[in-house]
């Protein structure tokens, strides 16, 4: 194997921690850069460096000792990564891909120009410009940069909503009549070989716009699943990614697939691959980083993934009590991120339920959600 290879991750969150967990199987020592000394990766990496992945100097000093660098979040300094790539350090995904994806307008415009269907959108520089586009309402307003988990997204139903709109560069996007939200993860290696996971279906909490749970396989026809896979591959090739790419899509009420958003890194919608698939998304990324062949993506078991959020302080009960009840059930896999408890709504962990059918997994997931609500206080 490639034990001597020095691998680095920009970002020390739970996605990085799950990558480290899989790196152990490959005998790799992974270095991590994150600002927060208490981030999940800090406890698993002996080469954890406190520093800002957005800082040019921090990324250069972290990366110059490495052979290969990847990311677990998009907010990283691409200028520094470009310098490191010039110096011969492998950067997967490339700085160009990261930069393209960092800005929602650039990302979607690029895809549109490549003939990939995205919702109709325009660029908005500030709140006052919205007044000139009231004919587009109702519409969806999204911050171009640093939005995640629905935090940079708001719906504008009528012109009075503009008063509370974001006052920064945004995209204003047609309100799509969404039948289903799905995601396909594509893995693409340095030689251009590509393999995809089965589409997953995301079910969102309509009030908070965060993921409620995620099913695999998605409840869509085989024809649509193939179409989604082909669209994801076309997207990965269009941006020329080396690494893994989550392609989030809308299946519209007219049965059209539109690409909503890309993530060039391990993604929530691939959490289930740890237990459900022959090769997890994390192992897949490591294989790409160290130049090993892509692994089989076969779905061995159907799954449902549920996020575990920090409850509101006045509702919070012991997670241990909830887990004692939940972990009595078979084929239930807990991933606790070890984050310090913070704001209500913070993602603290996730649970993957594997079953022979997705219906059976949903039945168990419903019971587990009720336990999380009653014993832990999760909304
Ligand atoms: P984030 O980057 O914060 O995850 P998304 O673009 O994925 O933002 O939007 C969050 C959620 O908002 C989506 O999952 C979807 O439910 C809803 N949404 C986003 N764009 C649209 C749209 N154009 N029309 C209707 N709903 C949308």
Residue 204 alpha carbon, nearest atom of ligand 1: 16
Residue 343: the pLDDT is 86
> Is the CB of residue 150 below 6 angstroms from any atom belonging to ligand 1?
yes
Residue nearest to ligand 1 atom 18, measured at CA? 140
Atom of ligand 1 nearest to the CA of 181: 14
Ligand 1 atom with least separation from CA of 260: 6
Residue 132: how many other CB atoms lie within 10 Å? 10
Q: Is the CB of 269 under 6 A from ligand 1?
A: no
174 CA distance to ligand 1 centroid (A)? Answer: 11
The ligand 1 atom at the shortest distance from the C-alpha of residue 152 is 3
> What is this structure's pTM?
0.96
176 lines ligand 1 (CB under 6 A): yes
User: Which residue of 103, 140, 175 sits with most ligand 1 atoms within 8 Å of its CB, as the best mutation to test the pocket?
Assistant: 140
Q: 153 C-alpha vs ligand 1 centroid, how far in Å?
A: 7
CA–CA distance, 91 with 69 (Å, rounded to integer) = 5
Q: Distance (Å, rounded) from C-alpha 297 to C-alpha 308?
A: 26
- With a CB cutoff of 8 Å and minimum separation 6, the contacts of 232 are 184, 185, 186, 196, 245, 247, 249
Tokens of 183: 């995601």
Name the residue of 105, 136, 150, 207 to mutate for ligand 1: max ligand atoms within 8 A of Cβ: 150
Q: Is 188 exposed, middle or buried (0-12, 13-18, 19+ CB in 10 A)?
A: buried
Task: Write out the chain's pLDDT in tens, 379 residues.
Answer: 666 899 999 999 999 999 999 999 999 989 999 999 999 999 999 899 999 999 999 999 999 999 999 999 999 999 999 999 999 999 999 999 999 999 999 999 999 999 999 999 999 999 999 999 999 999 999 999 988 877 899 999 999 999 999 999 999 999 999 999 999 999 999 999 999 999 999 987 666 666 678 999 999 999 999 999 999 999 999 999 999 999 999 999 999 999 999 999 999 999 999 999 999 999 999 999 999 999 999 999 999 999 999 998 888 888 999 999 999 999 999 999 999 877 888 899 999 999 999 999 999 999 999 999 998 999 8
Query: Which residues, 6+ apart, have CB-to-CB distance to 223 below 8 Å?
Result: none
Distance from Cα 210 to the centre of ligand 1, integer Å = 9
Closest C-alpha to 323, from 351, 346, 355 = 351
φ, ψ at 108 (rounded to 5°): -75, -35
């Amino acid at each position: 194997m490639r034990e001597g290879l020095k691998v680095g991750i920009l970002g020390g969150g739970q996605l990085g921690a799950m990558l480290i967990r899989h790196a152990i199987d490959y005998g790799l020592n992974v270095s991590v850069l994150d600002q927060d000394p208490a981030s999940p990766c800090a406890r698993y990496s002996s080469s954890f460096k406190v520093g800002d992945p957005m800082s040019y100097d921090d990324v250069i000093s972290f990366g110059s000792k490495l052979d290969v660098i990847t990311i677990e979040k998009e907010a990283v300094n691409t200028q520094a990564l470009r310098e490191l790539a010039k110096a011969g350090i492998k950067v997967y995904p490339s700085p160009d891909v990261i930069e393209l994806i960092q800005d929602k307008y650039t990302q979607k415009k690029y895809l549109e120009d490549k003939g990939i269907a995205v919702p109709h959108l325009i660029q908005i520089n500030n709140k006052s410009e919205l007044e000139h586009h009231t004919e587009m309402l109702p519409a969806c307003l999204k911050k171009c940069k640093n939005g995640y988990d629905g935090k940079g997204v708001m719906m504008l139903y009528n012109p009075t909503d503009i008063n509370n709109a974001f006052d920064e560069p945004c995209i204003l996007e047609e309100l799509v009549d969404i039948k289903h939200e799905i995601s396909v993860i594509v893995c693409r290696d340095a030689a251009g070989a590509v393999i995809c996971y089965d589409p997953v279906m995301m079910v969102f909490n309509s009030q908070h716009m965060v993921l409620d749970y995620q099913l695999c396989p998605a409840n869509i026809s085989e024809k649509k699943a193939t179409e989604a896979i082909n669209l994801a591959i076309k997207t990965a090739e269009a941006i020329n990614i080396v690494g893994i790419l989550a392609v989030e899509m809308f299946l519209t009420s007219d049965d059209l697939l539109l690409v909503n958003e890309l993530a060039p890194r391990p993604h929530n919608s691939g959490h289930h691959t740890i237990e459900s698939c022959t090769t997890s998304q994390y192992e897949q990324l490591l294989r790409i980083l160290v130049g090993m062949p892509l692994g089989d993506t076969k779905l061995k078991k159907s799954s449902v993934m549920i996020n575990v959020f920090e409850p509101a302080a006045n509702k919070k009960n012991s997670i241990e009590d909830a887990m004692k009840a939940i972990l009595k059930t078979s084929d239930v896999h807990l991933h606790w991120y070890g984050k310090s408890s913070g704001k209500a709504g913070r993602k603290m962990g996730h649970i993957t339920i594997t079953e022979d059918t997705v219906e059976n997994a949903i039945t168990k997931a419903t019971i587990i959600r009720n336990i999380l609500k009653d014993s832990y206080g999760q909304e």
